[in-house]
Amino acid sequence: MHNRKHVYRHALVLFVLVFVVCNAFAYAQEKITLRVITGYAPNSATWDLWQEFIQEYEELNPHIVIENRGSVAQADVLLMQLISNEPPDIIKTDMPTVLSLHRRDLIQPMPKQYVDRFTAAYFPSAIQALQYDDTLLGIPASSNVTGIIYNTRIFAEKGVAGPPRTWEELHLLGPKLSEYSGTNIIQPAITVADNWNLDYFLTASILAEGGQIIDQNGNLVVDQEPTYRAFQRWLDAVNHGYFAFNKGGLFSSGQLPMVFGWPFWQVTLSSRHNLDDFRSAPTLAGTAGTVTTYRNHAYCVPTVAHQQEEAWKFLEWMTSKESGYGGTRLGYFDSIAGTLPITRSDITAPYNRSRQQFMAGFLEAIEYSVPSVPWMRHGLGSMPELSNALKKTVAGVSPQQSINEAVTLLKSKMEDWRK
| Tens digit of each residue's pLDDT (9 = 90 or more) over 216-226 | 999 999 999 99
Indicate if the pLDDT at residue 14 is higher than 70. no
21 is a domain residue: no
- State which H helix or E strand residue 52 sits in: helix 45-60
DSSP state of 84: S
State pLDDT tens for residues 256-298: 999 999 999 999 999 999 999 999 999 999 999 999 999 999 9
Residues 261 and 392 in one domain: yes
pLDDT-based confidence at residue 12 (cuts at 50, 70, 90): very low
State pLDDT tens for residues 60-72: 999 999 999 999 8
pLDDT-based confidence at residue 3 (cuts at 50, 70, 90): low
Residues 207 and 132 in one domain: no
Residues 107 and 171 in one domain: no
Residues 88 and 134 in one domain: yes
pTM of the entire predicted model: 0.89
State pLDDT tens for residues 133-181: 889 999 999 999 999 999 999 999 999 999 999 999 999 999 999 999 9
Residues 263 and 331 in one domain: no
23 is a domain residue: no
Q: Are strands 179-181 and 190-192 parallel, antiparallel or unpaired?
A: unpaired
pLDDT-based confidence at residue 36 (cuts at 50, 70, 90): very high
3-state per-residue secondary structure call for 244-266: EECCHHHHHCCCCCEEEECCCHH
Q: What is the pLDDT of residue 4?
A: 52
99 is a domain residue: yes
57 is a domain residue: yes
Indicate if the pLDDT at residue 5 is higher than 70. no
Measuring CA to CA, how many Å separate 113 from each of 66, 138, 202, 215, 321?
23, 13, 38, 32, 18
What is the domain count for the chain?
A: 2
15 is a domain residue: no
d(CA 291, CA 155): 24
End position of a domain, from candidates 339, 360, 381 = 360
95 is a domain residue: yes
Indicate if the pLDDT at residue 392 is higher than 50. yes
Residues 289 and 386 in one domain: yes
Helices and strands, number each (H, E), in the chain: 18, 15
Residues 289 and 300 in one domain: no
End position of a domain, from candidates 340, 360, 380 = 360
Q: What is the pLDDT of residue 24?
A: 44
State pLDDT tens for residues 343-367: 888 989 999 998 999 999 999 999 9
1 is a domain residue: no
- CA neighbor of 347 nearest in space, from 53, 334, 369, 337: 334
Computed over every residue of the chain, the mean pLDDT equals 90
25 is a domain residue: no
Q: Are strands 139-145 and 131-132 parallel, antiparallel or unpaired?
A: unpaired
- State which H helix or E strand residue 175 sits in: helix 167-177
Residues 200 and 90 in one domain: no
CA 179 to chain centre: 34
Q: Which domain holds residue 401?
A: 145-294+368-418
CATH number of the domain bearing residue 336: 3.40.190.10
DSSP state of 351: G
Residues 155 and 137 in one domain: no
Contact predicate 40/320, CB 8 Å: no
Residues 305 and 260 in one domain: no
End position of a domain, from candidates 311, 336, 360 = 360
Residues 101 and 238 in one domain: no
Residues in the chain: 419
CA 176 to chain centre: 34
Residues 181 and 274 in one domain: yes
Contact predicate 367/287, CB 8 Å: no
